[in-house]
Amino acid sequence: MKEIIIHNFTVKRGSFTLYPLSLTIEKGEIFAILGRTGSGKTVLLEAIGGSFPGTCGSVLYDGIDVMEIPPFNRRLGFVYQDHGLFPHMKVYDNIVYGLKMHGFTRAEQEERASALMEMLSITHIRNQYPGTLSGGESQRTALARALALKPEVLLLDEPFSALDPATRQQLYLELEKIHERFQCTIIFVTHDFTEARLLAKRVGILLDGRLKAVVSADRLMDGHYCDEVEQFLGRSQRI
């Protein structure tokens, strides 16, 4: 996959409207969608993943509309804010679920799952159920499941928001390791300025359903923005 091109995309979900936006995300980039709660960050992330069609516009993967690509062929991994683990399945079975659905042999499932559990330091919990896991263990399990099919694009919805500071720092390092090893495009949602600056190459600021700015992460706090963005960043507008 070369790049993701979002062109004049808009969608209405209930009472919420994601207004027309255009954006190109480069192959292998780590891109952060930054905004306050209710700004439409998750809606945009799900739209990129092809969860629903837009009212107008398109999300293109290498020039092909994502809605025209069968879900099993999209090469996507998605980690939800609540992890989305199957509570009746052990950690190992959660991780290999997608591999089973795609017809991988038991030996192939074991090989991939074992490598991911070792990389994410969760081998010791392979036979536990999600209800017994800590927040960090649940997040690592969800990451392992998303990575099992070697996605070209990894979508993360507030992946660190419910974690304690120490676990959050550990998972920042894990994410960098994942990016280096899998060379995948990573798009994550966050409301944390520091997190966006630390992990991403570029940041898109989304407020009230409107993409207000796209900026290099290392210049996030140095830019000159409209009043609404300045207020969101916690500073008065510069003259």
| 142 domain residue, yes or no | yes
| 139 domain residue, yes or no | yes
Q: Is 218 helix (H, G, I), strand (E, B) or coil?
A: helix
Q: How far apart are CA 165 and CA 136, in angstroms?
A: 11
User: Taking 90 as the threshold, does the pLDDT of residue 236 lie above it?
Assistant: no
Q: What domain count does the chain have?
A: 2
Same domain, 64 and 157: yes
Same domain, 184 and 223: yes
Residue 131 burial class via C-beta count within 10 angstroms: exposed 0-12, middle 13-18, buried 19 and up: exposed
Same domain, 195 and 220: yes
Looking at residue 1, its pLDDT comes to 65
pLDDT confidence tier of residue 197, bands split at 50, 70 and 90: very high
Looking at residue 224, its pLDDT comes to 82
pLDDT confidence tier of residue 217, bands split at 50, 70 and 90: very high
Whether pTM > 0.85 for this model: the answer is yes
Same domain, 67 and 182: yes
Mean pLDDT value across residues 24-42: 95
**Residue-range definition of the domain harbouring residue 170:** 1-75+153-239
- Is the model more confident about 73 or about 4? 4
Same domain, 114 and 195: no
Tokens of 116: 């991911």
| 235 domain residue, yes or no | yes
Strands 16-26 and 3-13, how do they pair?
antiparallel
User: Taking 90 as the threshold, does the pLDDT of residue 222 lie above it?
Assistant: no
Q: How far apart are CA 220 and CA 31, in angstroms?
A: 13
Same domain, 55 and 170: yes
Looking at residue 167, its pLDDT comes to 87
Same domain, 160 and 223: yes
